[in-house]
Structure 1
Amino acid sequence: MKLDIANFHVNEIQFGEKTEYSEGILTINKKEALDVVFEDEHITEADLHIVRPGDEVRLVPVKEAIEPRYRVGGGPVFPGVTGKLMQAGNGVTHALKDMSVLVVGRHYGGFQDGLIDMSGEGAKYTYYSQLKNVVLVADTDEAFEHHEQQKKNHALRWAGMRLAEYIGACTKGLKSDEIETYQLEPVTKRSEKINKLPSVVFVMQPQSQMEDSGYNDLNYGWDCNLMLPTFMHPNEVLDGAMISGSFMPCSSKWSTYDFQNFPMIKRLYQEHGKTINFLGIIMSNLNVALEQKERAALFVAQMAKSLGADSAVVAEEGYGNPDADFTACYVALEDAGVKTVGLTNECTGRDGASQPLVSMDEKCDAIVSAGNVSSLIRLPAMKTVLGELEALARDGLSGGWSNDEVLGASVKPDGSIIMENNAMFCGDQVVGWSTKTMVEF
């Protein structure tokens, strides 16, 4: 499979009469874009905003991030989700770089929603403060979700994807600034030189714990809770096969933008043929019952061994219950003779003194930490809030609270906030964006 991602770098975003891209400037016809959003009758109100790095803007509750793209030759950007089912990972896809579409709730949030600051101290906690963002702020009539802690956010998430496809389509027929090419030879057809290198498989564990439909990550539109571990080409992930779900404490979340640009996949590609033989991806899942976790781990280990993997990288989306899947998979790979490195965050409490993972094993001796979800963060008021700041305290965001015996409410009368890192949108950046380092005392 060969995938060419044609990049169009966005230096500026503005509203105007015609949606078009020219010489680094993206212009959006706001009315047309909102018409795309309102194609879903459940959207009751919506507006678009443009925010840039350094703006004194706070976004909350943030639900999703998507990179605008266009599939050359036709077909949906997200096969099986926004259009017909078709193979991803082949051909040419246009991508608008240095920007994203952010989806923000106008009123109601949930524990899977987060916060982004575009400037100040808070900006360092999330990758999306570095991007120019088209922000969709909207509400729906899905009344059953208004006061539920766990939300599917279906209308808002799908509106974001449609909007990203609408914006990306303005690159149709244009010549890109650069092209990234991703290509792997079939596993059994590689050169002697490559086959002599240490072989590596990347094991991904996207969020899939909810047995009710509509919450989990999707693979070609397939609820990941229903799938068994399967071998995938990395190009499929980079080209829209994977969609972020709505169930996950927010700092641990992998947004759709993260899947489209997964840094760990790109890093393994960079080393392929040089220091490693990158075999591909085993797409696993995160299960509910212990037997389900053990079964998935056995499938992963068998696949890795059958592929001839010398080593593996395992990354989990989440913490807590998913830690049992993470360590079970790690141990099964080690028992199969596959040297394994883990990539995850930790939940060590506000004082950092608790056990980092729910499930531990002495064989899990090479884990890269992306930070502590429970670290306390204090941030001053921001000039502008898009969404509803009170959602952080009122609606059970995973890092916010309405009252604490010692700290009080997360949202203070002056607009300043105190929260756990948990509520930073995709803040732990387990996918590989993270710049966090360890400090010894």
Structure 2
Amino acid sequence: MKLEVGNFFVKDVLFGSETSFQNGILTIDKEEALQVVRQDDHITDVDLVIAKPGDPIRIIPVKEAIEPRCKVSGGVMFPGALNKLAPAGSGRTHVLKGSCVLAVGKHWGGFQDGLIDMSGPGAERTMFSQLIHICLVADTDEEFERYEQQKRNKALRWAGMRLAEYIGQCVKNREPEEMEIYDLPAIDKRSAEVNQLPGVVYVLQLQSQMLENGYNALVYGWDTNHMVPTLIHPNELLDGAVISGSFMPCSSKISTYQHVNNATIKRLMKEHGKTINFLGVILTNLNVQLEEKNRSALFVRHIATTLGAKGAVVCEEGYGNPDADFIAVINELEDAGIRVVGITNECTGRDGRSQSLVDLSEKANAIVSTGNVSELLKLPPMEIVIGELEALARDGNSGGWEGCVKEDGSIEMENNGMFCSDGNTGEFIKTVVEL
């Protein structure tokens, strides 16, 4: 399967009379873009605001991040979710690198929503401070979930995907500045030299704890709570087959932007044929019942052993209850003779002294930590707030609490509430060190 990703590097984003890209400048026809957003009648109030690295801007509550891109050939964007069901991972996709669409609540946030600072000490806490954002700031008529701690946020999240695809269309017929080629052949088509290298699988544990549809990660539009572990080609993930869910403390969440830019997969692809034989991606879920956890871990083991894997990288989305799935998969793979490296964040309390994972095992002896979700942050006031700062304290944000927003606009919060800041898919540098 061959995927061509054509990159156009965005240096600045402006509003103008037409949506276009020229000499590094992305210009957006604001009214036309808003018409795309308003295709959903549930959007009642909406605006677009641009936020750039270094700006004195705080964005809260952030619900989703999507990279502007479009399919040139070989399928559709966000298949089975935004668009019709079709295969992902082949043909050509054009991408506006360095830009990002953020879905932001105008007022109402929730457990799963996060904060981004574009400058100051908070900007060091998330990779999203390094991108130019087209902030889709909206309110909806989804009154049934307004006062709920956990929200589907469907109207806003789907509007973000529509907007990202609309913006991406402006480079559909352009020649990209850079072309990335992801060409991983079928296992039976690989050379004898490649097949002699140690086989490695990537196991991505997607958030799927909610029983009701609409909260969990989606694979080709299918709710991951209802799936069993599934083998996919890495190109499919890099081409939009997986959509982020709306349930997860925000620092631990993997946004749709991060799925299509999964740095661990890109590194495994780079090492294929040199140091490893990359066998594919096993998507698995993080359900609540013990029987479901054990079943999924067993399925992961069977897929990996059937492929002949000698090594695995296991990435966990979340912490707490999902730690049991994380350790169960590591135990099963290690028992099968497959060496595992795990990637996860930790929940060690504000003083860093608590047990890092809910479940532990001596077999989990090679773990990459992406930080402590409970780390206490004190951030100064910011000149501009996009969205509503009070949402951090009022709406059950996983990193905020009543009184965490001070009169001068400064805040205290846990890392929990920094938008996708732990970067378990490998895009960020934050980790834990022993002092």
Asked if residue 241 in structure 1 is aligned to residue 235 in structure 2, the reply is: no
Residues 413-424 of structure 1 mapped to structure 2, 5 A cutoff: 413-424=407-418
Q: Match for residue 45 of structure 1?
A: 45
- Partner AA of 1:305 in structure 2: T
Matches within 5 A, 1:257-296: 257-296=257-296
8 A contact 1:8–1:95 mirrored in 2? yes
Q: Partner of 1:362: helix, strand, or coil?
A: coil
Q: Structure 2 length normalisation: TM-score?
A: 0.99
CA contact (8 A) 1:75 1:84 kept: no
Q: CA deviation at 1:434?
A: 2.4
CA contact under 8 A between 2:74 and 2:91: conserved in structure 1?
A: no
CA contact (8 A) 1:63 1:104 kept: yes
1:361 aligned residue: 361
Offset at 1:435?
Answer: 1.0
CA drift of 1:436 comes to: 2.2
Inter-partner Cα distance in structure 2 for 1:197 and 1:285: 29
Match 1:431 to one of 421, 425, 428: 425
SS of 1:285's equivalent?
strand
Residues 135-214 of structure 1: pairs in structure 2 closer than 5 A: 135-214=135-214
Of all paired residues, the percent bearing the same amino acid is 63
Q: Distance in 2 between matches of 1:259 and 1:392?
A: 26
Task: Report the AA paired with residue 313 of structure 2.
Answer: V
For residue 282 of structure 1, what is the amino acid of its counterpart? I
What amino acid is aligned across from residue 204 of structure 1 in structure 2?
A: L
Partner of 1:105: 105
How far 1:74 sits from its partner (Å)?
A: 7.3
Task: Identify the residue that residue 336 of structure 2 maps to in structure 1.
Answer: 336
CA distance in 1, matches of 2:418, 2:262: 19
SS in 2 for 1:72: strand
Specify every segment of 5 or more residues in structure 2 that has no aligned partner in the other structure, as ranges: none
CA distance in 1, matches of 2:366, 2:390: 40
1:348 aligns with 2:322: no
Alignment of 1:60-75 (within 5 A): 60-73=60-73, 75=75
Distance (Å, rounded) in 2 between the aligned partners of 1:366 and 1:128: 28
CA distance in 2 between counterparts of 1:412 and 1:12 reads 33
Equivalent pair of 1:116/1:129 in contact (CA under 8 Å): yes
Q: Which runs of 5+ in 1 are unaligned?
A: 403-408
Equivalent-residue separation in structure 1 for 2:298 and 2:377 (angstroms): 39
Query: Is this contact kept in 1: 2:65–2:255, CA < 8 A?
Result: yes
The equivalent of 1:310 in structure 2 is 310
Q: Which whole-Å deviations, capped at 9, do the CAs of 1:411-432 have from their partners, x for residues lacking one?
A: 0010000000000000111110
**CA spacing shift, 1:196–1:73, aligned 2, 3 Å:** closer
Q: 2-side partners of 1:440 and 1:339: how far apart?
A: 24
Superposed CA deviations along residues 122-153 of structure 1, whole A, max 9, x for unmatched, are 00111110011111100101011111100000
Q: Which residue of 2 aligns with 1:405?
A: none
Residue 12 of structure 1: CA displacement?
1.1
Deviations for 1:58-90, whole angstroms, at most 9, x for unmatched residues? 000000000011101375311111111100001
2:215 aligns with 215
The aligned amino acid for 2:419 is F
- In structure 2, distance between residues paired with 1:437 and 1:370: 4
Q: Report the counterpart of residue 24 of structure 1 in structure 2.
A: 24
Rounded Cα–Cα distance in structure 2 between residues aligned with 1:91 and 1:357: 41
**Which secondary structure does the structure 1 equivalent of 2:162 belong to?**
helix
